[in-house]
Amino acid sequence: MYSTAICMWIIRIVDVYILEIKFEMRIAGVWLSIAINLFVKAIFLLFKFKNHFKTITNQEQTNI
């Protein structure tokens, strides 16, 4: 939930402003911003679930 909110309100809005308005990329800037947003969100969630999976694995090993 937090990753979606952070990516949506911080990364995408800033990217759209920079790419569309500053670099005048128009609709291509918007689509590029969406791609960057999805990439950053995927990396963030990868680390989050990787750490979560390690925690679950360690708990299972201690319970055995």
Average pLDDT over residues 58-64: 67
The one-letter amino acid at 40: V
Q: What percent of the chain has pLDDT over 70?
A: 86
Residue 1: is its pLDDT beyond 70? no
Contacts for 18 with CB less than 8 Å, ≥ 6 apart: 29
**Residue-wise pLDDT tens digits, 13-30:** 888 889 888 999 989 998
What pLDDT score does 31 carry? Answer: 92
Q: Where are the beta strands (DSSP E) in 8-47?
A: none
3-class DSSP assignment, residue 61: helix
Nearest 10 degrees: CA dihedral of 10, 18, 28, 38? -20
